[in-house]
Amino acid sequence: MNEGERLTELAKRRGFYFPAADAYGGAAGFWTYGPQGAALKDNIEDAWRDRFVVQAGHQEISAPDVMPEPVFEASGHLDGFDDMIVECGECGATHRADHIVEDNTDIEEAESLPNEEVMEIIASNDIPCPSCQASLADEPVDNFNLMFETNIGPGSSSPGYLRPETAQGIFVEFPQLSEYARNQLPFGVAQIGKAYRNEISPRKSLVRVREFTQAELEHFVDPEEDEPPLSTVEDVTLPLYSGERQQADDGSVEQMTVGEAVETGVVTSDWVAYYLGIARDWYERIGIDMDRFRFRQHLPGELAHYASDCWDAEAEIDGDWIEITGFAYRGDYDLQKHAEYSGDDYTVFKQYDEPITVERPTVDPEMSYLGPEFGGDAQAVADALEQLAADDPDAFDGEEVSVDLDGESVTVPVDQTGFSVEEITENGEHITPHVVEPSFGVGRLIYTVLAHAYTEDEVDNETRTYLELPPEQAPTTVGVFPLMDRDGLGEYARQLAEGLRQAGHSVTYDDSGAIGRRYRRQDEIGTPYCLTVDYESLGDPEGDADPENLQTDTVTIRERDSTAQKRVSIDGLAETVERLVGGELTFDDL
């Protein structure tokens, strides 16, 4: 079994995740998180919220999953959110054309190639249909839009779509959100929520699915003035796989600090570099192995329709690199588009430090001249003159000025236009903010964290499997076991478990089977600590402990990774566990 297969088997057996609606045959690309998976997901989302919302001083919102069609007309998803599809003429199976090219050749980022080229590569390499092995050589490679369509209300007059990214729920509400931020840039708005993509070929369990959770931050900045606090991350070392490196023959990842990446221009946007630095440390916090991790720059053909530069965080599993996060500089693309399509105001008013005096060309046309001259078109001519004064005041330098009226040029004497240049005082200007976007896929984070945590070792001459999860992320923090459920041991352990739960810990009580088996069960879900209640805890009613060293009201605590055990007092145990989980106390120092 490879890493992915081992993980999927463990995930199903131990309640992390499994195919949804299996009783009815299921549907590819939909997964249910079981009790351990849902808890791990919550922990990862909480850690994300802690770093990218709370510590960063940003705000979080929750927008609807379904939005009306005009939102996606404006965002460009209706026209441009496509993948390449090829359909087998023999069995009718559909496949992602770029993926089958990558799977069958040395080409790495086939997504960046035009459809015709992908079609030629399929033909020249005689790539067969992965389902039935028939030739795909003459099959066309088409675009397939990934959005799920629905109808809002009865009938089909109001089409809607399940959002393909949570981001649009933030962009579309910008006029409100900017007010809440008192129109002060920079400000960030985050959202953790579902996104939906009708993927052509879902694969690798949580890696490519049709419904998934994104954690996205849209940071709105003034491109002229706002700078990220680079000094806070400048010494963080990033494993960078730039576009240039990818295209070089011996291209390899280069390690450089955030400061160096900015200075040498390898990462062109200071904001993107800043977020790469923040994120790198966060990935380590949640348990991603930094020896199996890199940031890869998008090649030009790969860039999303909205992005001018983009880096992906990628994690290695089974020799494949999986994109876990995209860091994009989206410029003012989204806000401009929503302004254009909705007619609403997607700008912020930028107040100057000092008012400035500017010259403003204006016209005050003589209607007693325009009326007889242009009849019903007089107002249109006046409007055209006003526009021309704003766009090209030099046009009024001569004796006559020409404007376009429905494709026809008409001429007006300048002395009939009332042209003048006024001096006015301005306190500020309206600008459209730019957007920097770190966009995390929560399912892929979970998959990576689990794959990188999966460890096997030998304990008591047996192979043991355990998940080396950081205690903060582990779905269950403590396992509580009575040695046996008799002589009051069970009651004592249940009370201990209840006390720890009341103190906020995630606790599993288990009294079934041999203690060794119970430890193994907890090891497999990554529980960092187990507490065992034995006769000594109860004051040694059996009378076989050394009376000199009797430690009533103590339990053994076992550490997952080392399997070492110590005796600890139950006094203040909840706090001890909290300090262990939070890293303020080490097991050795107990």
Binding site for ligand GAP (CB under 6 A): 165, 167, 197, 199, 208-209, 212, 214, 216, 323-326, 437, 439, 441, 443-444
Sheet of 149-151, strand order: 66-68, 159-162, 149-151
State the sign of the Cα–Cα–Cα–Cα dihedral 565, 568, 570, 574.
negative
The residue type at 340: E
Query: How many angstroms separate the Cα of 371 from the Cα of each of 378, 414, 508?
Result: 5, 16, 87
The residue type at 411: T
Q: How far is the CB of 445 from ligand GAP (least distance, A)?
A: 7
Q: How far is the CB of 278 from ligand GAP (least distance, A)?
A: 16
CB 219 within 8 A of CB 329: no
| Nearer residue to ligand GAP within complex by CB, 193 or 441 | 441
183: left (phi over 0), alpha (psi -120 to 50) or beta: left
Nearest residue to 205 (alpha-carbon basis) of 47, 82, 26: 26
- β-strand partners of 257: 237
Q: How far is the CB of 208 from ligand GAP (least distance, A)?
A: 5
| Nearer residue to ligand GAP within complex by CB, 333 or 481 | 333
Q: How far is the CB of 452 from ligand GAP (least distance, A)?
A: 15
| Nearer residue to ligand GAP within complex by CB, 212 or 419 | 212
Q: How far is the CB of 547 from ligand GAP (least distance, A)?
A: 60
| Nearer residue to ligand GAP within complex by CB, 36 or 439 | 439
Q: How far is the CB of 259 from ligand GAP (least distance, A)?
A: 25
Give every CB contact of residue 298 below 8 A, 6+ residues apart in sequence.
Answer: 243, 307, 309, 310, 311, 312
Q: How far is the CB of 437 from ligand GAP (least distance, A)?
A: 6
| Nearer residue to ligand GAP within complex by CB, 111 or 559 | 111
Q: Please give the residue whose beta carbon sits closest to ligand GAP in the complex.
A: 441
Q: How far is the CB of 231 from ligand GAP (least distance, A)?
A: 28
Nearest residue to 145 (alpha-carbon basis) of 330, 305, 323, 309: 305
Query: How many angstroms separate the Cα of 122 from the Cα of each of 117, 136, 182, 385, 420?
Result: 9, 7, 54, 58, 66
241: left (phi over 0), alpha (psi -120 to 50) or beta: beta
Q: How far is the CB of 26 from ligand GAP (least distance, A)?
A: 16
Give every CB contact of residue 256 below 8 A, 6+ residues apart in sequence.
Answer: 237, 238, 240, 264, 266
| Nearer residue to ligand GAP within complex by CB, 280 or 444 | 444
Q: How far is the CB of 30 from ligand GAP (least distance, A)?
A: 11
CB 192 within 8 A of CB 51: no
CB count within 10 Å of CB 123 equals 14
Q: How far is the CB of 565 from ligand GAP (least distance, A)?
A: 39
- Alpha-helical runs (H) found in 172-241: 174-180
**Phi, psi for residue 24 in degrees, rounded to 5:** -110, 20
DSSP state of 527: -
| Nearer residue to ligand GAP within complex by CB, 220 or 519 | 220
DSSP state of 53: I
| Nearer residue to ligand GAP within complex by CB, 56 or 91 | 56
